[in-house]
Amino acid sequence: MPIGISTLCTVGKTFKVINELISLRIELLELLDEWKDKLTKNRIKTLNEIKNTSNIRYTVHAPILDLNIAASNDTIRNTSIKIIMNSMERARAIDAEVFVIHPGLRTPLENLVPNLNKHLNMESLRRILNYGENLGLKVAIENMPAGTRCFMQNSEEFSELIENGFSPYIVLDIGHANTSSQIKKFITELKDKIIHLHLHDNYGIEDEHRIIGDGNVDWNFIKSNISLDRIYAVVENTSLNDAIVSYERAIQLFKS
């Protein structure tokens, strides 16, 4: 189980502190391909040079700002998909182990036309997953926190994808699942589909991205019930200091 750090903790300045991140000797770096941290040609070259001189591995998180792959507006939806597909190509250029995507969002039209956005979300996911397969890239869908407009908050929604002919890889975001009391359901019902973990803590109410152990997540249950031989994992905190502490705790938890 390679464990690393998500660049959520360095958002907007990742490539200013990239050497500091690498100096932590982490096994895995998840790059949020977004905003000021977009993977340009020069940055892709730098990341490949780093990879060639170290043992680091990469995962990539798709852009998320201002996008909605379930949008009722065709232009917004198709543009969102295109932005994600472009990011997938950049992820392939650094041999990313996993490409993480968010599902779409419900719109007010869903209240008037039930299941419209749900259907559009499913069709957009199908397009994105097919594109990833053609690229030879493992694309995994992340579960979302409770109390948001996002689809894919619970295990039943992923099971419904499977019933509709999908064979999805899942990024189990532990903090998100804790807000919906879904950790045990995801692990017991969909364990074979989970290939990646986002590790952070909270008290089951808000998506706080706390340090591992600074909340009420049952980490021992996760350690006891997740097969470590094929799973990737990154800590996902909002400051580098928190991420370093969380990473140390994750190593102690999963590698002991």
**pLDDT of 28-79, one tens digit each?**
999 999 999 999 999 999 999 999 999 899 999 999 999 999 999 999 999 9
Q: In this structure, what DSSP letter does residue 180 have?
A: T
Residues 6+ apart with CB under 8 A from 75: none
pLDDT at 230 over 90: no
Residue 9 in tokens: 């903790």
Residue 138 CA to residue 99 CA, distance in Å, equals 6
Residue 189 CA to residue 139 CA, distance in Å, equals 20
Give me the domain span that covers residue 78: 3-255
Residue 226 in tokens: 């997740």
Q: In this structure, what DSSP letter does residue 63 have?
A: P
Q: Do 123 and 92 touch, CB atoms closer than 8 A? A: no
**Rounded to whole angstroms, what are the CA distances from 115 to 67, 121, 176?**
19, 10, 23
- The model's pLDDT over 158-180, given as tens digits with 9 standing for 90+, comes to 999 999 999 999 999 999 999 99
Q: Do 195 and 158 touch, CB atoms closer than 8 A? A: no
Percent of the chain with pLDDT over 70: 100
Supply the pLDDT for residue 221. Answer: 97
Residue 27: CA count within 13 A, CB half-sphere? 14
Q: Calculate mean pLDDT across residues 230-241.
A: 97
Strand partners for 29? 5, 58
pLDDT at 255 over 90: no
Residue 145 CA to residue 151 CA, distance in Å, equals 9
Supply the pLDDT for residue 1. Answer: 87
Residue 189 in tokens: 């019902």
Q: Calculate mean pLDDT across residues 175-203.
A: 98
Here the CATH number for the domain that contains residue 214 is 3.20.20.150
pLDDT at 228 over 90: no
155-163 and 183-190 helices cross at what angle (nearest 10)? 30
**Rounded to whole angstroms, what are the CA distances from 146 to 32, 72, 143, 179, 202?**
22, 22, 10, 6, 13
Strand partners for 31? 60
User: What is the number of domains present in the chain?
Assistant: 1
Q: Per this entry, what is the length of the chain?
A: 256
Average pLDDT, the chain: 97
